[in-house]
Amino acid sequence: MKQLIIRIPIFGRTLALQIRTWIAKISTHYGVTNQTPDGYFIPMWDFAEDRHLEDIMNSLSKVQDEFGLSTIYVLQTFPTESYRAVCFDKLIFTKSMGIICMTDNIDHQYLRFSWIRLRCVLRLSKKIGREERLVGTLPSFNDKYEKSVDHQSIFAKFYEGIPSPNPSPLKVRVSLSKYESFR
């Protein structure tokens, strides 16, 4: 990484500009946002790297019980210990983000960008040399919240083991997001 700092004196003060450059492979990924067509949001989690599945499941189980959430599906980018999770309950934005913030082991950069964008994005595209898997389910028979059948339809197509909603929507209405990352 190269760094350049330019200092410009202006009226007795100094304006400092910092420029950083680096050469790295950038990957383009596609993900789905957590916003529903009717303006609600579903909880979607992206966990910090190298956390154990048992810790992730315990963290999710606590918030599931505390907030009365329905079934939560845990996804892994195999062979790494990189986990994400999704629940299809439709909530207002602040409640959805509050639940995500209350979850232990969450990736802080994911939280930061979710607040900046005012929506969460979970990657659906595959990473080179890695496999996407459904590795855990936290079942719940709680029907406290309405479900996003649109999101459930998308995730059911990408992950074997997530059931398609019944009835399935004729047209799936979710927002996809393209983004770039160094991984």
Provide the pLDDT for residue 183: 62
Is the model's pLDDT at 179 over the cut of 80?
Answer: no
Six-digit token pair at 103?
A: 């979850």
Provide the pLDDT for residue 46: 96
Over residues 80-108, mean pLDDT: 96
Tell me the residue type at 136.
G
Burial of 89 (0-12, 13-18, 19+ CB in 10 A): buried
Higher-confidence residue: 75 or 171? 75
Provide the pLDDT for residue 86: 98
Neighbours of 28 (CB within 10 A): 9
Q: What global pTM score does this model have?
A: 0.83
Q: Where are the domains of the chain?
A: 26-181
Q: Dump pLDDT digits (tens) for 31-73.
A: 999 999 999 999 999 999 999 999 999 999 999 999 999 999 9
Residues 152, 155, 156: CA angle, nearest 5 degrees: 80
Q: Dump pLDDT digits (tens) for 100-145.
A: 999 999 999 999 999 999 999 998 887 878 889 999 999 999 999 9
Average pLDDT taken over every residue of the chain: 92
